[in-house]
Each structure stands twice: as C-alpha cells, then as structure tokens.
Amino acid sequence: IGFSKDYSTVLATHHTDEFGELCQGFNAMLQEIRVRDEKLSQLATTDTLTGLANRGHALESLQTMLTRAQRLGRPMGVLLDVDHFKQVNDTYGHPAGDQVLRDIAHILQANVRAYDLAARYGGEEFLVLCDGADLPATVDMAERIRAAVASHGFRLADGQTLHTTVSVGVYVGTSAHTTAMQLIEATDQ
C-alpha cells in the first residue's frame, strides 16, 4: 500500500482478537485517506463557484487532448465568453453575477458531450474542449450553447429575471506545432 498508494486495498482477516481489531482500524484509516484524497483531488480541479473544471485542470486536459489529437491526426475544437458581464455585476450586484455564472455552467454541462470538458477559464470566460470534434460538430455545439443562453431567463435571488448572451469563439485544428495556448488565443480571436 505504501509503495502503490492504492488506498482501495482492504486487508481481510478472520481474526477476532487484537490482530482483527488492528486490521479493522487499518482499513478504517485507509478509507479515511481515500475519501480525503478524493476530496482534495476534486478541490484541486474544480471551480468552486460553478462546479466546472477549473483553469488549471482545463489547461492540463487541453494539453492531453491536443497531444492525442496531434498523434492521431484528428481535429479538436475549443470554444470560449459571456457578453457584457461587467454590466450584470454593476447593475444587479456580484451575487447576481455569480448566479448567472452558475446558470451558464449548467447550460454548458447540458450541451456538451460526455467526453468533452467544460471549464471556467477565468472571470466570465469559459472553455469547452471538444475532443475529436471537427468544425461542423464544434460549430453545432457552439450554436446550441449560444441559443440556450440567449433563451434562458436568469432568475435572481430578488425575483428579477435577466437575459444575457454569450459570444462563442470556435477553433478547430491540431497542427503538429500548435500549443495549448495558441489554440486558446486562436479561439479568442
């Protein structure tokens, strides 16, 4: 266990003496370590406001997907951004802005494929990594997301409903010399 760090191991014993109690205690300790590690992993990779992947996890995943796409000669798409978000915060306050970001996160999750990754890139910027997606598939997803946000009534804590839109940059490609940051910059453009 010390070497493999496999905390899912359970020590089986049929002893009912002190050795059996020691094994039970050890198994309980392993369970606590497993739960703690899972929680730490989630905290390290998840944006606390939206529940989406955070920037660090998204960039790491983007690099992995890009490397795989380059090796296989397959495309991948990247999407981004919320329009006029500063106005939402200035007009309705930061709690309302937080609610808009959470709702947009839910819309993203509902409109991406199971093997894509939706992430909060920073502030009001989101990133959707479309693994193995060609241009038509990526544009289709972008349009679904754009339309879903535009038609959504963002219900605020005070009962008001507001509407906002998103601008979605789309980039599809995997040149052998393209880096993750170049993909993001191209999408932003």
Residue 43 has pLDDT above 80, yes or no: no
Helix, strand, coil share (%) of the chain residues, nearest 5:
50, 15, 35
Amino acid of residue 52: L
* pLDDT band, very low/low/confident/very high, at 10 (cuts 50, 70, 90): confident
Kindly report the average pLDDT of the chain as a whole number: 88
**Catalytic residue ranges:** 124
> Could you write out the DSSP letters of every residue in 30-79?
HHHHHHHHHHHHHHHHB-TTT-SB-HHHHHHHHHHHHHHHHHHT---EEE
Instruction: Give the dihedral sign, CA 34/36/39/44.
Output: negative
* pLDDT band, very low/low/confident/very high, at 184 (cuts 50, 70, 90): confident
- pTM across the whole model: 0.77
